[in-house]
Amino acid sequence: MLAGLFLYLDSTMRLSTILPKLAQWGRVALITGGTFLLAGCKLNFWQMDGHQTTMQTAGPVAEAQLQVFYITCWVTLIIFVLVGAVLAYATVKFKARNTADEHAEPPEQSHGNPLIELSLIGLSVLALVFITVPTLKAIWYTYDVPEEQKATAYEVTATGNQWWFKFDYPSEQVDGIGMLSTANELVIPAGRPVRVNLRTSDVIHSFWVPKLAGKVDMIPNRGNHLWLQADEPGYFWGQCAEYCGESHAVMRFRVIALNKEDFAAWVAHEQSPARTVAVDGSASSEIPKVKFASFRRNEYGYTAKWDAHADVSPLDNWKQQQFPVKDENPQLIAQGRRVFQEKTCIICHTVTGHEGIGTNGPNLTHMGSRTTIAGGLLENNADQLARWLTHPDVVKPGNKMYFGINGMAGYVKPSGQDWESNITLSDDDVSALVAYLQSLK
């Protein structure tokens, strides 16, 4: 912009005829400075520390990928500087300096200089070799768990769905159910390679955890895989990285890496049935009025406690989420459990030990202990839960909870050319459902 302004002033005020030298160097300085200024504003390159930056890695796979990026950047930067310098030199050195220059005959033309041509070919090949060798090594390394680490590798299966992720643990069983299954938050052991089998139940998705590894596609009818490792316990953001329909951009997930003891405890708890809150016989059966925040469309889905610079680490927040909500109301929770059946939520969601047995939607057995809802999009708190339950179509356009799945109706059902309301929730229903879902620790 600054360079453009200068060129405009240059043409209107004829700066170049008045101060030719100044104009010349001014242009160079402004174009260069402007470029750096814009790049600095936009990228803040050296401080990239967001949740989904690939510039700060937390495991060997992402690190190998980052190194390839750096090598490619350096090689191309050197080429850019060399070519740019020669071009700048030639432009300044051989420019027309007076009218005679402008009308002079072109210099004698020559053809072919074997030394220069062979050198350029040699240097180009060398530059490609510098990029190719580390790239091939990284592709080989990141393809699968290295042979010598296979014995210690942990295995999980990730399945993409429009628009959420299902995570299965083939080596962990749940009595009477089959393999352990959860959704949207993949909990893994830290310091151990994890092989992730990649599947999809519908269209192509792509599994990406920027700080750990990615991206690898989940392809219909074709097994795919990747591996990753979190060196230390931590909380990482993941994202579907392949366009998969209208809510692709809000198809997210988390990876939580725990130390050995915490991971074993998590698995054991996850294998247990859903938590049941006993109703105190003397408690009032009246449903208290709960006031939830109202949200505008596209409003941010989480509070400041998830900011990159928040005081409490995201992992500590996750650990805090494992405990029951302080002021929970057993009466309200029992009511919510009834609403969960009456409103047919049980047809699509499993709550082991309670009524739900459906597998179309995410398993909700320990939903209250996850930090996110709605496929990693919203923070798991009362307000956001109410937002999701009352406006699923606004939060995640096109989702199957709203429109139904496999011929079953959801919040709406087809009616001729249009849709009519099917599941309706009163304010009391929402309060009760929120209390119930939050109790599923």
Contact residues: ligand CUA, CB under 6 A = 160, 163, 205, 240, 242-244, 248, 251
Q: Provide, rounded to whole angstroms, the least separation between the CB of residue 244 and ligand CUA.
A: 3
Q: Provide, rounded to whole angstroms, the least separation between the CB of residue 169 and ligand CUA.
A: 21
Q: Provide, rounded to whole angstroms, the least separation between the CB of residue 309 and ligand CUA.
A: 28
- Return the number of the residue (253 or 295) whose C-beta is nearest ligand CUA: 253
Q: Provide, rounded to whole angstroms, the least separation between the CB of residue 200 and ligand CUA.
A: 8
- Return the number of the residue (207 or 340) whose C-beta is nearest ligand CUA: 207
Q: How far is CA 133 from CA 55, 79, 119, 136, 308, in A?
A: 22, 18, 21, 5, 35
- Return the number of the residue (192 or 215) whose C-beta is nearest ligand CUA: 215
- Return the number of the residue (205 or 275) whose C-beta is nearest ligand CUA: 205
Q: Are 216 and 207 in contact (CB under 8 A)?
A: yes
Nearest to 322 by CA among 379, 366, 385, 387: 366
Q: How many other CB atoms are found less than 10 A from the CB of residue 67?
A: 15
403: its two tokens: 């429109």
Q: Provide, rounded to whole angstroms, the least separation between the CB of residue 206 and ligand CUA.
A: 7
- Return the number of the residue (189 or 238) whose C-beta is nearest ligand CUA: 238
Helices and strands counted in the chain (H then E): 13, 14
- Return the number of the residue (160 or 234) whose C-beta is nearest ligand CUA: 160
Rounded to whole angstroms, how far apart are CA atoms 165 and 234? Answer: 19
| SS3 labels along 411-429 | CEEEECCEEEECCCCCHHH
- Return the number of the residue (180 or 240) whose C-beta is nearest ligand CUA: 240
- Return the number of the residue (200 or 321) whose C-beta is nearest ligand CUA: 200
Rounded to whole angstroms, how far apart are CA atoms 346 and 355? Answer: 6
Query: 99-108 — which CB contacts under 8 Å span 24+ positions?
Result: none
Q: Provide, rounded to whole angstroms, the least separation between the CB of residue 308 and ligand CUA.
A: 23
Q: Provide, rounded to whole angstroms, the least separation between the CB of residue 240 and ligand CUA.
A: 3
Q: Provide, rounded to whole angstroms, the least separation between the CB of residue 218 and ligand CUA.
A: 8
Residue type, 364: L
Q: Across-strand partners of 366?
A: none
Q: Provide, rounded to whole angstroms, the least separation between the CB of residue 366 and ligand CUA.
A: 24
Q: Provide, rounded to whole angstroms, the least separation between the CB of residue 251 and ligand CUA.
A: 4
- Return the number of the residue (158 or 228) whose C-beta is nearest ligand CUA: 158
Cβ neighbours for 339, distance < 8 A, ≥ 6 positions apart = 425, 429, 432, 433, 436
Q: Are 183 and 165 in contact (CB under 8 A)?
A: yes
* Helical (H) or strand (E) element with 41: helix 20-43
DSSP annotation of 229: -
Nearest to 207 by CA among 196, 217, 192, 222: 217
Q: For the stretch 252-276, what's the b/e string if a residue is b when 16 or more beta carbons lie within 10 angstroms of its beta carbon?
A: bbbbbbbeeebbeebbeebbeebbe
Q: Provide, rounded to whole angstroms, the least separation between the CB of residue 372 and ligand CUA.
A: 16
- Return the number of the residue (211 or 248) whose C-beta is nearest ligand CUA: 248
- Return the number of the residue (214 or 356) whose C-beta is nearest ligand CUA: 214
Helix/strand/coil percentages in the chain, nearest 5: 45, 20, 40
Rounded to whole angstroms, how far apart are CA atoms 30 and 73? Answer: 24
395 burial level (CB within 10 Å; 0-12, 13-18, 19+)? buried
